[in-house]
Structure 1
Amino acid sequence: MSDAQFQKAVEIIRNLPKNSPAKVTQAQQLKFYSLYKQATEGDCNTQRPGMLDLTGRAKWDAWNKVKGMSGEQAKKEYVDTFFEVFEPLKDDAEFAKYFEEIKNVA
């Protein structure tokens, strides 16, 4: 797994159209978020948001769960999670293209 594969997976997820056949659950979104933050920033280094900031707390909790994971491992898990989440769509032409782009990036 390379940095380029990680960056390509991030780019694809960020640019998924709203009408995409991919339906990413909130739990999957949080997993992508936590692995991205761990890969790019390392361990969670902010205070936990207040109890009224439910979204902020969910993100913080998800990121804090991967505390101690190396950046390389987080990148690998991010790409692996991409393939797991979108595996059911591997026969869709658009997603088949995404799979190939990630696999073939240098």
Structure 2
Amino acid sequence: MSEAQFKKAVEIVGSLPKDGPVKPSTDDQLYFYKYFKQATIGDVNTTRPGLLDFTGKAKWDAWAEVKGTSKEEAWKKYVERFLAILEAAGDDASKKHIEEIKAAA
């Protein structure tokens, strides 16, 4: 996967309508989060949030799971997961998004 394909996938994920046919699960969202952070920042570089910040801890833990992953591998994992979600949806908009991602160079 190229950086351009990763950026296109990130753009599309960020613009998905809440009531649209493609609804990434909570697990998918954490997956995208951890690989986005790994691809754009690298290894987790903050302290783990406190006890009462459940969402923050889940995000931090997810990101920490992929410590040492290269940005290229993070791009690949992010894009592959999103393409699988789009392919499963199978609607016309999803097919268009798949074409856009694959065409990005």
Q: Deviations along 1:7-64, whole A, 9 cap, x unmatched?
A: 0000000000111111211111000000000000000010000010000000000000
Identity %: 55
For residues 89-100 of structure 1, the aligned pairs below 5 Å read: 89-90=89-90, 92-100=91-99
Alignment of 1:24-35 (within 5 A): 24-35=24-35
- Write out the 4+ residue segments of structure 1 that deviate beyond 3 Å after TM superposition: none
Deviation at 1:88, TM superposition (A): 1.1
CA distance in 1, matches of 2:86, 2:104: 18
SS of equivalent residue, structure 1 residue 24: coil
**Is the aligned partner of 1:102 residue 2:101?**
yes
Q: Distance in 2 between matches of 1:19 and 1:59?
A: 24
What CA deviation, in whole Å up to 9, does each residue of 1:55-102 have, x standing for no partner?
A: 000000000000010011001110011112222113x11111000000
Structure 2: 5+ residue runs without aligned partners? none
- Aligned length in residues: 105
Please report the RMSD computed on the Cα atoms of aligned residues, expressed in angstroms: 0.8
